[in-house]
A = this chain, B = another copy of it.
């Protein structure tokens, strides 16, 4: 019998209990042993059939030597960090869906786990239920990872999908996402890209073995995208997605989150609604993509419970999951990297002024209602250089309405 505990009984936590209950047969068949949730930690009271399992005292889990497997699904860094640290030091394996904690403290917690011959798993921290952490670490272990690019946040992808397919503007699409429970009342973590940022940091940590701090990662959200931009992108054969991406760049890493125009044929461009997709480019395997529900109670719980099963199974084999946090920042200044831009400008005599700054651009000719507006795509250039030219244009009375990177996967 494997005794387990769950810390946090919010959406994911209650989903973990539900999945273990509903799929007890599969769970125990795959584990080869019976499982029992012995404790659930939450400060709130719940009127559920298993109310007797609840405790408000963390020590009821920490000091219970029966409990060998714990799921931390509280979210936030404190006290999740302190609790996880104590549990690992006590010789208990811990898994989590807490991207904020893994992105901030993953390297340290993995080291503590290794030192105490237990596991710290976090499959659910990226892509919800989508298998990505294990496949990246194990199945792609023979590859040099050339690039990772992903639609890592379902809420923003839902909003963009509504803007693209239903011509809903950003604020209406956001309102709908909130009504449907996809977005929080304070949607900043999603729409400003912070959630996607934590996830791309975790993927970069794993793929390149170096700690990438979310604070070091340039992060843009989707709130400035208008239906005009969506329409111009569409006319030029692109879809706008919020993309987190990382790749080696010189001695360091490029790691950033921003909206991007993707060619409609791109596998990522076809991912709609709350779904996530993560594209991994390896030097042997080429492109592989992982697709599924990036959030949601049961989907996320599915990954947490899979981690719990795996931790219970691999008591004696500690994973080699790890990356080094040597305090250095390996993230290069994105302004020094090369990319193409979609640009929408307003002003007079635009073409001549544009030609004076950009030798060669592709104008998006369609839907040019307004005489004083124009949209085009630049060649690939160093970002710094791009901003300088835009600055020069505005000094000639040209107003930048929006600029969005153009990626090619």
| A181 CB within 8 Å of chain B | no
Question: Which of B32, B284, B298, B317 sits near A284, CB closer than 8 Å?
Answer: B298
Q: Of the listed stretches A139-147, A246-254, A373-381, name the one at the interface; the rest are far from the partner chain.
A: A139-147
Shortest Cβ distance from A129 into B: residue? B285
In the complex the two chains form, what is the Cα distance from A23 to B145 in whole Å?
A: 10
Q: Of the listed stretches A130-138, A327-335, A350-358, name the one at the interface; the rest are far from the partner chain.
A: A130-138
| A27 CB within 8 Å of chain B | yes
| A: contact size bracket | 35 or more
Chain A binding surface SS class: mixed
| A395 CB within 8 Å of chain B | no
Q: How many copies does the complex hold?
A: 2
Write out the residue numbers on chain B whose beta carbons fall within 8 Å of the beta carbon of A32: 320
Question: Which of B25, B29, B123, B296 sits near A139, CB closer than 8 Å?
Answer: B123
Q: Knowing A135-B134, A291-B267, A320-B32 touch, does A140 contact B306 (C-beta < 8 A)? A: yes
In the complex the two chains form, what is the Cα distance from A296 to B288 in whole Å?
A: 13
In the complex the two chains form, what is the Cα distance from A148 to B232 in whole Å?
A: 38
| Nearest CB on B from A29, distance (A) | 7
Write out the residue numbers on chain B whose beta carbons fall within 8 Å of the beta carbon of A314: 317
In the complex the two chains form, what is the Cα distance from A123 to B139 in whole Å?
A: 8
Q: Are B142 and A138 in contact (CB under 8 A)?
A: no
| A34 CB within 8 Å of chain B | no
Question: Which of B209, B288, B292 sits near A130, CB closer than 8 Å?
Answer: B288
| Nearest CB on B from A281, distance (A) | 10
In the complex the two chains form, what is the Cα distance from A26 to B287 in whole Å?
A: 18
In the complex the two chains form, what is the Cα distance from A143 to B138 in whole Å?
A: 21
Of all A-B residue pairs in the complex, the 5 with the closest CB atoms, nearest first, are A131-B139, A288-B292, A142-B305, A317-B317, A131-B135
A-B contact pairs, 16 of them (CB 8 A): A23-B142, A25-B144, A26-B141, A26-B143, A27-B141, A30-B141, A30-B142, A134-B138, A139-B303, A139-B306, A141-B306, A142-B308, A270-B270, A289-B289, A290-B291, A291-B291
